[in-house]
Amino acid sequence: MKQDIYRQVTNKIIADLEQGELTWLKPWSGGNTDGKIIGPLRHNGLPYSGINILMLWAASVEAGFSSPFWMTFRQAQELGAHVRKGEKGSLVVYANTITKTEEGADGTEEERTIPFMKGYTVFNASQIEGLPAHYTVTPEPAPDPVPRIERAGTFFANTRATIRHGGNSAHYSPATDHVQMPVYEAFRTPEAYYATLAHELTHWTKHKSRLDRDFGRKSWGDEGYAKEELVAELGAAFLCADLALTPEPGEGHAAYIQSWLKVLRDDKRAIFSAAAHAQRAADFLHGLQPLTEYEQQYLAV
């Protein structure tokens, strides 16, 4: 079962890349962008993370689902609802570890941590009848007290990253630990500027003083480089969904596709690892934001 899950998910991403499509950008280009693109949510409103975001985004685009809510057959029943007959569910995965005590060669006992993964099926709220209204009714958007571009600017400023402007290249420099960006006016839209910044700040999280992420890159374009670029692509997509921004394919994404295909074909776990690293990067950047008044009150209790 575990091997099938790895291969099934990886094959889906590979198929998209072979068509020149980026699975993580499909929600914005799939024709269902009338509302804000957000990460998929469980029945209780908690967000999915990592590889499950990609899997459920892809499923939503293929089927044209507009609801972000997903749940199991049983969870729907517990809400007094039922999955419509003939509906096909979508795969999500649960990963964790178990600790097993084994006897070593010298007779001593030692603990070994064993990772495991299992898959299960969920249905979109659009496939379920009888759910409470908030699962299926799209509310009228409330006036946004803070414009999204202003909110994005504040979010990235709160990271305290060193961001320099000038030239025509967007990149992160590990040697000087700074992000280099073209001037703001050089971008087609403010969204394009902040989406690019999200990509580069995902790279910024790899520094030893932050997440200490290293795929063994030795030169431009090698496997380690391709893996880090994949993490930055996914991290930017996750952040753009969080900040209501519309990401755009990077200038070099067409060139990266072949290197990403090689990485995924060589290692069926690579996309799972990349999504997990991207989620940690997004979480790290969120963790640099000041606490809200509610969070401060909650922690004070």
Per-residue pLDDT of the chain (301 residues; tens, 9 = 90+): 445 889 999 999 999 999 988 999 988 876 554 557 889 999 999 999 999 999 999 999 999 998 999 999 999 999 999 999 999 999 999 988 788 888 777 778 888 888 788 899 999 999 999 999 989 866 555 566 667 899 999 999 999 999 999 999 999 999 999 999 999 999 999 999 999 999 999 999 999 999 999 999 888 789 999 999 999 999 999 999 999 998 877 766 777 899 999 999 999 999 999 999 999 999 999 999 998 755 555 666 5
Out of 102, 126, 143, a domain closes at: 143
Q: Please give the model's pTM, rounded to 2 decimal places.
A: 0.89
Residue 149 shares a structural domain with residue 276? yes
Calculate the average pLDDT of the chain.
89
Query: How much is the pLDDT for 241?
Result: 94
Provide CB contacts within 8 A for 168, sequence distance 6+: 182, 186
For residue range 73-103, what is the model confidence (pLDDT) as tens digits? 999 999 999 999 999 999 999 988 788 888 7
Domain termination site, one of 104, 128, 143? 143
Which helix (H) or strand (E) segment holds residue 134: the answer is helix 133-136
Q: Which residues of the chain form beta strands (DSSP E)? A: 70-71, 82-83, 90-103, 109-124, 128-129, 163-165, 171-173, 178-181
170 and 262 belong to one structural domain: yes
Of the candidates 114, 81, 84, 78, the one whose C-alpha atom is nearest the C-alpha of residue 96 is: 114
The answer to whether residues 209 and 261 belong to one domain is: yes
Q: Which residue has the tokens 């200490």?
A: 212
35 and 66 both lie in a single domain: yes
Residue 56 and residue 132 share a domain = yes
Same domain, 295 and 149: yes
- Pick from 144, 150, 146, 184: which is nearest to 164 by CA? 184
Residue 179 sits in the same domain as residue 283:
yes
- The b-or-e profile of 102-118 (16+ CB within 10 A means b, else e) is eeeeeeeeeeeeeeebe
Domain boundary at 94, 109, 143, which? 143
Q: Do 76 and 190 lie in a common domain?
A: no
What per-residue confidence (pLDDT) applies to 145? 63
Q: What is the pLDDT of residue 1?
A: 45
Q: 103 and 153 share a domain?
A: no
Task: Give the per-residue pLDDT at 37.
Answer: 85
Number of helices (H), then strands (E), belonging to the chain: the values are 11, 8
The residue segments making up the domain with residue 55 are: 1-143
- Number of structural domains in the chain: 2
One domain, residues 74 and 181? no
Tell whether the torsion through CA atoms of 144, 50, 29 and 66 is positive or negative. negative
Same domain flag for 152 and 227: yes
CA distance 53 to 166: 34
Contacts for 294 with CB less than 8 Å, ≥ 6 apart: none
What pLDDT does residue 31 have?
A: 58
Same structural domain, 61 and 189: no
